[in-house]
Structure 1
Amino acid sequence: MLTPPSQLLQRHLAQWREQSLTLVAPPDDEVLTECLRHGLALSVWTSDWRVSRACEQQGIPAWHQLALPSLSGRVVLFWPKAMEEGMAWLNLLTQLQGIELLIVGETRGGIRNAQKKLQDVGAQVAKQDSARRCALLQVKYCPAAPWPALGQQCFNGPDGLTLCSRPGVFSHGRLDEGSECLLSVWQQALQEAIPRLEGVDCLLDVGCGNGVLGAWMKHQHLAHHLTACDVSSFALAATADTLAANGLSDQAAVIGSDIYDGLTAEQTFDRIISNPPFHTGRSTDYALAERMIKEAPQRLNQGGDLWIVANAFLPYREWLTQSFDQVSVMADDGRFRIYYARKT
């Protein structure tokens, strides 16, 4: 199934065989298959580990990194839901020479604002097509890296930590309230010497974002080895930055993974921590959190535990009690709920 921007792009694929095509930040839909069906010389630059893995399975050259690759021909950026993430992509793409740059996106997804942002910095932008409440824009000229101030942001975090963030990362530039709630529970547990928060050897931070949860654990000497994973290369870069800024990179691995899919089959942990997402794009999606909870026992060593923070209305307790014999609510302020589960 194709998303509306991909449906708009599909109208042009038959006429685009004369030069190579690179899709930047494409959605996780059938657009890759459509491009191959039209015989296009296709490559992909994505921040989404899942898309990168789909490319690998289909033999499509792909980059899952923020370092600027060497691109040529026609390059199409799928405009993301976060304006700053789209601007970050353009900061990179406008440094490339000799490419034909296009942008496709939904009207409600900010494509009009993207056009205005570009025109504000002196770019020449023309509409090539519109349908399905989407637009396809051609960037005829744009100064290189037009938003130089946009990029990594560092700010003060809890207990003396420096936190680093990137555009497109959840709660960019600030500590989100859910993580703050979980950290306050952990801080209290340390003060009261609650056995549940004893140190562990191997820690997994699922959906690491800017890395605050895993970094705090290492900073407090509550984990020897940290594995932090996320689907987003923006988040992975932010986590790596946070660990480096606090001297915590030793005995830490930052990897692309969709929940547990990027781990080896043999990897298990003494503790899993997460502030799991419950949105895919603009839609509520419980599937990621449900899979993270239900598959957690397979990834935990005997006696290992799971700590998660969630909005209080989310149905996590049911999945936890189905998956673990020991489940506790460690805090509930009416908005956020902190769950603890242990593999016995």
Structure 2
Amino acid sequence: MSLSNPSQVLLRNSELLVAKTPLFINLPEDGFIDAYLELYKPNSINCFNNNFIDYQAIINKHRQTATQNVQAIFSSTYQTKIYHDLVIITFPKSKAELNFTLAMIAHCIDVTTKILLVGEKKGGIQSAPKLTKDLLSCCQKADAARHCLLFAGLFQPEKLSIVFNLQDWFKKYKITVEGIELTIASLPGVFSQKKLDTGTALLLGNLPEKMSGKVLDFGCGAGVISCFIGKKFTAINLSLLDVSALALTSAQESLALNGLLGQVFPSNSLSDVNEQYQYVVSNPPFHQGVKTHYQASEEFLAGINKKLSKRGNITIVANSFLRYQPIMQAHIGDTRVITKEQGFTIYQAQLSSK
């Protein structure tokens, strides 16, 4: 795999990378880890990822190469007893996630720990100094190349003593749909963190009239869909999956706040789905551009027929310009357009045969 542009920019700045116990946060598996091991020979590398796909890639690569000093962690928060002398952070897609990430590492660094922020310009990394002014000192641009920026800084000494409390970072809001009141909890970086989004609201108003048995919420986000279904239909067994650890933790909190239970688990599309469901509901994620997103959705819709029980039903909401209906028709069965509103379309399909 070829090095990404941000990784190439990092390797241009060798004087900033020397460390014995570095922590890499949300770096992809693109060859940078191997290059770092060869060049700097650290005692250990801890790789923290809150994206399950990136985590799996690191695990699979370094299991194959039997790299003993690379530790991969998938979680919404990072806890360790190791002191890190270098932290490299991929600038997040959600700017709100950056200070959350910095706050959670305060317990394992000191005033001499180098904090590097790297990312593509189009991702908004230019705002890094402004965003981090309350936590970092000397956050300055270290390099600019390949349409990327690299910032380097140090933690403000007085901020290192602040205890990280996950509960402080949840945004909680109340919604009422069809007379059902829900409380939703969402961490930074989770889709629709502060309010019910238009697509999901449309989906909730167009679910099957009756639902029972096993229900899968694919790409659950903060758990809005599952919480509504759990409150409206009593004879159901909820399963919620997402690729994001931040989303999964948010969904678990939302379920608890509404007195509901559900199986919450990570999955790369359908990679870790091992059961069959009577109903699947989804507002498929749409975060990586039209082409990438459409391919990921096609994979999900092409494979979901194997995860539906006899006469199983799937209901999804999507941006109207995305051509989901032919894919669902080909792989699942008769697919209806339930409604089109505000730029979104609700599709519903029933498995033809089993």
Kindly provide the CA deviation profile for residues 37-70 of structure 1, in whole angstroms up to 9, marking residues without a partner as x. 5455322111101111112212341111133322
Taking the TM superposition and a 5 Å limit, the aligned residue runs for 1:176-325 are 176-186=197-207, 196-221=208-233, 224-249=236-261, 252-264=262-274, 267-280=275-288, 285-325=293-333
Match of 2:173 among 144, 155, 161: 155
Kindly provide the CA deviation profile for residues 131-173 of structure 1, in whole angstroms up to 9, marking residues without a partner as x. 2232222222332469999720111123201111111011111
The equivalent of 2:52 in structure 1 is: 49
Q: Is the 8 A contact 1:272 1:306 kept in 2?
A: yes
Match of 1:137 among 145, 148, 151: 151
The equivalent of 1:65 in structure 2 is: 75
**Residue 341 (1) aligns with residue 353 (2):** no
Task: Say if 1:257 and 1:223 are closer, same or farther in 2 by CA, change over 3 A.
Answer: farther
Partner AA of 2:47 in structure 1: V
Task: Say if 1:89 and 1:229 are closer, same or farther in 2 by CA, change over 3 A.
Answer: same
Partner AA of 2:297 in structure 1: A
Gaps of 5+ in 1: 187-195
**Hey, what's the Cα distance between the residues in 1 that align with 2:183 and 2:100?**
22
Count how many residue pairs are aligned between Structure 1 and Structure 2.
331
Residue 169 of structure 2 aligns to a residue in which SS?
Answer: coil
The equivalent of 2:138 in structure 1 is: 124
Q: Is the 8 A contact 2:139 2:154 kept in 1?
A: yes
The equivalent of 1:11 in structure 2 is: 12
Q: Is the 8 A contact 1:127 1:137 kept in 2?
A: yes
**Hey, what's the Cα distance between the residues in 2 that align with 1:140 and 1:121?**
9
RMSD: 2.5
What TM-score results when the alignment is normalised by the length of structure 1? 0.88
The equivalent of 1:97 in structure 2 is: 109
Percent pairwise identity: 27
The Cα shift of 1:268 comes to 1.1
What TM-score results when the alignment is normalised by the length of structure 2? 0.85
**Hey, what's the Cα distance between the residues in 2 that align with 1:319 and 1:79?**
34
Kindly provide the CA deviation profile for residues 193-244 of structure 1, in whole angstroms up to 9, marking residues without a partner as x. xxx4322211111100010111111111255211101011110011001000
Task: Say if 1:275 and 1:105 are closer, same or farther in 2 by CA, change over 3 A.
Answer: same
Gaps of 5+ in 2: 64-69
Residue 269 of structure 2 aligns to a residue in which SS?
Answer: coil
